[in-house]
Amino acid sequence: MSLTLDQIRAALPEGGLFEGNWQYSPEPLKLTKAEGRFLQSLGHPLAQFQRACDDLYRRSATGKMPRWIAELLDTGKPAWMAELQRQPEFRDTLPRVIRPDLILMDDGKFSLTELDSVPGGLGITAWLSRTYAEAGFNVLGGGDGMLAGFSSVLPEGGAILIAEEAADYRRELEWLARGSGGGRTVEPAEEYQPDERALYRFFEWFDWESVPEARHLAEKSAAGEIRLTPPCKPHLEDKLWLALLWTPALKPIWEQALRGSHLSRVRDIVPHGWVVDPSPLPPQAALPVLGVNSWDEVAAFSQKQRRLVLKISGFHETAWGSRGVHVGHDLSQADWAERIRIATEDFDQQPWIMQSFSEGRLIEHPVFREDGSVYLMKGRVRLCPYYFTDDQGKTSLAGALATLAPADKKKIHGMRDAVLLPCVIG
């Protein structure tokens, strides 16, 4: 059982799905039964982690937890936005879509490098799932799982608001809207005038000033006048949480906030991380795991020691699409030191985090050449499972997008040389 390149190209909608190209494969990525079970069960713990993050932020903002947590997460964000996300009416409002970025590791485990609640790839994953399912593959989530999942986000129809900043994703979202039916449409966020329809937000809050109605929509949703998802909770779109999960002072707080099994599940897959905070440490203290007393010492690390990733945290135009990600052992000593300097100087305006580098396992997978012939590509995989939360609060896996990047690439994303494909088990 396999697809030909001609069959795949014939199935593409007119104009394609994305402003850019990627490679195709005659078959999906095969996962083990254990890997499949893990993905099926991961949605609920991640949703609970996100809920715990929101609760911790809210309690910090009211002084019931250390105030520095909310202050850190509010850094660089407009005051109106920070105030709005603290409103009591927003307490139980959380993103309806969760997409972790998971690196497939040598030991069969996964490493979570990002937790995205405004994810791209929804339409592409839906189209790939249907295309391969129609060819006879039992794809993870089912042929129409992504369409059903997205329909649950806007159960009575509505509009997808897409900003010009994210224009590359317009075609896939238009296909998703058509495929899910129910009168769902895609509208330019910059021109949208509220018409009381439910809204799916596909723009980042850092870009709010380019969307004239952004603040108005956020305020109307907080007042319960319209349905807007993901909500105006920019702290939940911040990578800082992946470092705060490992902050020693918060260890007992996390243990109280999350059920033990959920906390263990999340810690098992999140690489060790640090907030790049330039505040001096006492002489007898050290950055956990790194074992040094200052970021200046981290800046002086040798290439062997620099198996670390530096990331801008969230409220910034470079915080998506791998643009604000710097791999330590892929940089010269001078460039690494300069990046550390920038990150520490940015702390009061735009925090950064650092994480241990996760190198995925090498696999071989069949890939089409332009002429339709097939060769075995050696590369590493990033898995993006999509979890949707319905009106009853149940979080379920709807599909998974695998990105296979050439073995020499340190960062795995949807580049021209990468292969995008759905997954099967067995």
Instruction: Determine contact, residues 232/85, Cβ cutoff 8 Å.
Output: yes
Region 138-146: mean pLDDT is 96
pLDDT per position as a tens digit, 166-198: 888 999 999 999 999 888 999 999 999 888 899
Q: Is the pLDDT of residue 18 over 90?
A: no
Q: What is the pLDDT of residue 318?
A: 61
Q: Is the pLDDT of residue 412 over 90?
A: no
* Residue in the block written with tokens 């850094």: 75
**CA dist., res. 250 & res. 287, Å (int):** 15
pLDDT per position as a tens digit, 301-327: 999 999 999 999 877 666 566 677 999
pLDDT per position as a tens digit, 48-100: 999 999 999 999 999 999 999 999 999 999 999 999 999 988 888 999 999 99
Confidence bin at 14 (pLDDT 50/70/90): confident
Instruction: Determine contact, residues 324/355, Cβ cutoff 8 Å.
Output: no
Q: What is the pLDDT of residue 16?
A: 83
* Residue in the block written with tokens 């970025």: 101
* Residue in the block written with tokens 């494909």: 421
pLDDT per position as a tens digit, 208-265: 999 999 999 999 999 989 999 999 999 999 999 999 999 999 999 999 999 999 999 9
Q: Is the pLDDT of residue 414 over 60?
A: no
Q: Is the pLDDT of residue 297 over 90?
A: yes
- Name which residue leads in pLDDT, 302 or 407: 302
In angstroms, what CA-CA distances link 150 with 120, 166, 181, 271, 386? 13, 19, 10, 29, 10
Q: What is the pLDDT of residue 107?
A: 79
Confidence bin at 408 (pLDDT 50/70/90): confident
Region 325-333: mean pLDDT is 93
- CB contact burial 139-167 (16+ within 10 A = b; e otherwise): bbbbbbbbbbbbbbbbeeebbbbbbebbe
* Closest CA relative to residue 330, chosen from 275, 403, 274, 411: 411
Q: What residue type is 300 in one-letter code?
A: A
- CB contact burial 286-312 (16+ within 10 A = b; e otherwise): ebeebeebebeebbebeeeebebbbbb
Share of the chain above pLDDT 90, in %: 81
Region 129-146: mean pLDDT is 96
